[in-house]
């Protein structure tokens, strides 16, 4: 069945030894199966420490990131593309060395608001780089998840349909579509249909509310979300994401525009999300029988 995960920013904004230990301990204590750690700066992750903590906890681990504008593989500027490929290679090495199974996020472009559309040549650059990254990832049995985000966070992949077409162009079995309910709620016509459109290409799933706070306290139609996952019989990881000004990673929280305090008690939030996801998934699966 699906492995259930939680994003590290629910617990901590950094990854020093104390923060890493706390995030791993709390995730395991609540019965989650995996922790997803952000690696916008892969060098900031202490690989030996992280591997030791994760192995001792019995959790799985995944890595997520987005590229910045100076290291953008969807650019027409060869230097930016080269820098972006290096960031992806560095993050992949971290994913491998900490025992990660998935590297996902906005791997295909800058993780930012663009003021102009992506260009065909830029998108071709992105496809070429990701094909090489996929080959290296496959050697370590790592799945690449291309996260579909809303228009303010990339100009390349905003819908499930675009992501499926993009995966076809890369044409590597370990490159999958990564959907996120927060973004789908903004861009898709119908969340359930979008999940079905991703189909067998769906390889990673983020669950987050419309205001990125407590699940069920916003506008997302979770009946459709879980029905879609059940109809697809999706078996991959499902990670809970939520952000509040209580827990801040200066770079990531800034890109995500986390200005408001939506919760203070990480443990209560994550415990609630675990129960919410488990109960809704179970009900949706039973309804399919």
Q: Which residues bind ligand FUD (CB under 6 A)?
A: 7, 38, 64-66, 105-106, 147, 149, 153, 180, 206, 241, 256
Tokens found for residue 176: 């999958």
Considering the complex, state which of residue 97 and residue 187 has its C-beta at the smaller distance from ligand FUD.
187
The least distance separating ligand FUD from the CB of residue 256, rounded to whole angstroms, comes to 5
What SS3 state is found at 283? Answer: helix
Element (H, E) at 51: helix 47-57
Radius of gyration of the chain (CA): 18
Residue number, 120 or 162, with CB nearest to ligand FUD:
162
Nearer to ligand FUD, 26 or 206 (CB): 206
Residue 64 or 158: which CB sits closer to ligand FUD? 64
Q: What is the DSSP string of 95-151?
A: HHHTT-SEEEEEEEEESS--SS---HHHHHHHHHHHHHHHHHHHHTTPEEEEE---T
Token couple for 158: 């905003």
Q: How far is the CB of 176 from ligand FUD (least distance, A)?
A: 14
User: Given the complex with ligand FUD, which of 60 and 105 has the nearer CB atom?
Assistant: 105
21 neighbors 53 (Cβ within 8 angstroms): yes
Q: Which of 36, 85, 188, 241 is catalytic?
A: 241
Least distance to ligand FUD, CB of residue 74, Å: 16
- Residue number with the smallest Cβ distance to ligand FUD: 38
Neighbours of 43 (CB within 10 A): 11
In this complex, which beta carbon is closest to ligand FUD, that of residue 88 or of residue 285? 88
Query: In the bound complex, what is the minimum distance in angstroms from residue 104's beta carbon to ligand FUD?
Result: 7
Active site residue 286: no
Residue 147 falls in the annotated catalytic set: yes
Active-site annotation holder among 36, 147, 188, 192: 147
Q: How far is the CB of 178 from ligand FUD (least distance, A)?
A: 8
Phi, psi at 221, each rounded to 5°: -85, 85
- Name the helix (H) or strand (E) containing 207: strand 202-207
Token reading at 8:
């590290």
Reference 12, options 244, 206, 236; nearest CA is: 244
Shortest reach from residue 31's CB to ligand FUD, in Å = 22
Hey, which residues does 36 pair with through a beta bridge? Answer: 7, 62
Close Cβ partners of 279 (under 8 Å, ≥ 6 residues apart): none
Residues classed as catalytic: 147, 241
């Amino acid at each position: 069945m699906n492995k259930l995960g939680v994003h590290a920013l629910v617990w901590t904004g950094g990854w020093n030894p104390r923060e890493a230990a706390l995030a791993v301990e709390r995730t395991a204590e609540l019965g989650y199966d995996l922790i997803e750690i952000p690696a916008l700066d892969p060098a900031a992750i202490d690989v030996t420490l992280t591997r030791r903590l994760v192995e001792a906890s019995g959790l799985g681990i995944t890595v997520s990131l987005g590229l910045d504008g100076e290291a953008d593989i969807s650019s027409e500027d060869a230097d930016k593309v080269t820098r972006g490929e290096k960031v992806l290679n560095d993050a992949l090495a971290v994913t491998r060395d900490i025992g990660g199974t998935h590297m996902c996020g906005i791997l295909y472009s800058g993780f930012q608001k663009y003021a102009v559309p992506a260009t065909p040549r830029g998108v071709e650059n992105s496809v070429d780089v990701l094909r090489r990254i996929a080959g290296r990832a496959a050697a370590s049995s790592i799945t690449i998840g291309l996260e579909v985000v809303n228009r303010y966070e990339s100009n390349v992949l905003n819908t499930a349909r675009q992501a499926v077409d993009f995966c076809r162009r890369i044409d590597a079995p370990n490159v999958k579509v990564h959907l996120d309910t927060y973004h789908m709620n903004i861009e898709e016509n119908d969340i359930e249909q979008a999940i079905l459109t991703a189909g067998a290409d769906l390889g990673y799933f983020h669950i987050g509310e419309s205001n990125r706070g407590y699940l069920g306290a916003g506008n997302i139609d979770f009946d459709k979300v879980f029905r879609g996952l059940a109809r697809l019989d999706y078996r991959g990881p499902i990670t809970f994401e939520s952000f509040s000004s209580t827990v801040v990673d200066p770079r990531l929280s800034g890109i995500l525009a986390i200005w408001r305090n939506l919760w203070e008690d990480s443990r209560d939030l994550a415990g609630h999300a675990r129960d919410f996801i488990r109960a809704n998934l179970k009900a949706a699966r039973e309804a399919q029988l």
